[in-house]
Amino acid sequence: MLRFTKNVLPLVMLCIVATHSYVAASPQEGKPVVVCTTSILYSIVYDLAGDLIEVYMIANPSICPAHYDVRPGDVDMISKAQLILYHGFEPWINSLIEASNTQGVLVKISGPWNTPDALKSRYIDVANCIEEYLNIDVSARLNACLRSIDAAASEIKARAEELKVGEVKVVCMQWLKDFVSWIGFNIVSTYGPPEKLSTSDVSNLVDTCRSEEVALVIDNLQSGTAIGEYLSDELGLIHVVLTNFPYTEPNLTNFTLVMRRNAKILFEAVTVYKYRRKLTVLEARLDFWRTIGIGLSIVSIVEAVLLIYLWRRSR
């Protein structure tokens, strides 16, 4: 089945994360060190003050941060930080803080980030945090980032309306619901992480997809793609894989770019779906006219036989 997926480039990501961990051990003299638990926080800090501070991420962006395995280098990284930013869903952060004996300030940046309004709120939260704890004014850069988010949002929504995505029924992983709904898709059902779904849950999802004539199944890269792959193979749905974190690909350096990438993949899937649907209609029409043609041929043959019969009787 056709699947819209992007290669995660695990080797590249391993190199990126390893580089962050190594450099953190030798921060540049005079610059404050900020450590972020995830790539989304890292990208926001870098956008706002990347040349003014030393910023590092901990968790590999291609996996769920809740499942991240802490490494010895992370302890050293945290120990050198003046500011540590986290979301609140990282179960390993407290033990890491205790093990590092850090004197840095731990700040929770909570809330979603995968819609334009939510993302702007996280940028504002981080900007306020940088100003409060590091005494660095990033207001000009913040405004530029907010404008960039608004521009991306306008372009995405315009394309969504052009494609009439509201007519397209989808099922998606629950952590993507806000973004997929914001674009305008008709979400008929959502599902949780694959490891938490029972056989009954999957069976019900299959039944829903069949009864609702769902077109797309949308997976979250960090949660795994097993459900989407299964539904695609079982029902012929178009399988789409989105990312909820930047840096899963080298060019995805912030979430504004991630939104553009995710939207592009969704729109490509919609285009393919509509193309498939047109082909189905054309095939149905072709079958209809083929049947009509066969019927007319049979009628013509019968008429010819009848005429011959009547002609012979009249002699």
Q: What is the pLDDT of residue 38?
A: 97
* pLDDT digit string, tens, across residues 192-220: 999 999 999 999 999 999 999 999 999 99
Q: Where are the domains of the chain?
A: 3-150
Confidence of residue 276 (pLDDT cuts 50, 70, 90): confident
Please say if the pLDDT value at position 162 is more than 60.
yes
Q: Could you give the count of Cα atoms lying within 13 Å of 157 in the half-sphere of its Cβ?
A: 10
Nearest to 171 by CA among 195, 206, 199: 206
Instruction: Name the strand (E) or helix (H) holding 208.
Output: helix 199-212
* pLDDT digit string, tens, across residues 214-228: 999 999 999 999 999
Two tokens, residue 259: 């939104």
Two tokens, residue 263: 């939207």
Nearest to 188 by CA among 200, 202, 177, 199: 177
Q: What is the pLDDT of residue 294?
A: 61
8-state DSSP, 218 = E
Please say if the pLDDT value at position 19 is more than 50.
no
Helix (H, G, I), strand (E, B) or coil at 186: strand
Task: Output the pTM of the full model.
Answer: 0.80
Residue 72 and residue 99 in contact, taking contact as beta carbons nearer than 8 Å: no
User: What architecture (CATH level 2) is domain 3-150?
Assistant: 3-Layer(aba) Sandwich (3.40)
Q: What is the pLDDT of residue 12?
A: 42
* pLDDT digit string, tens, across residues 84-110: 999 999 999 999 999 999 999 999 999
Nearest to 86 by CA among 68, 100, 65, 103: 65
The Cα–Cα gap between 42 and 254 comes to 9
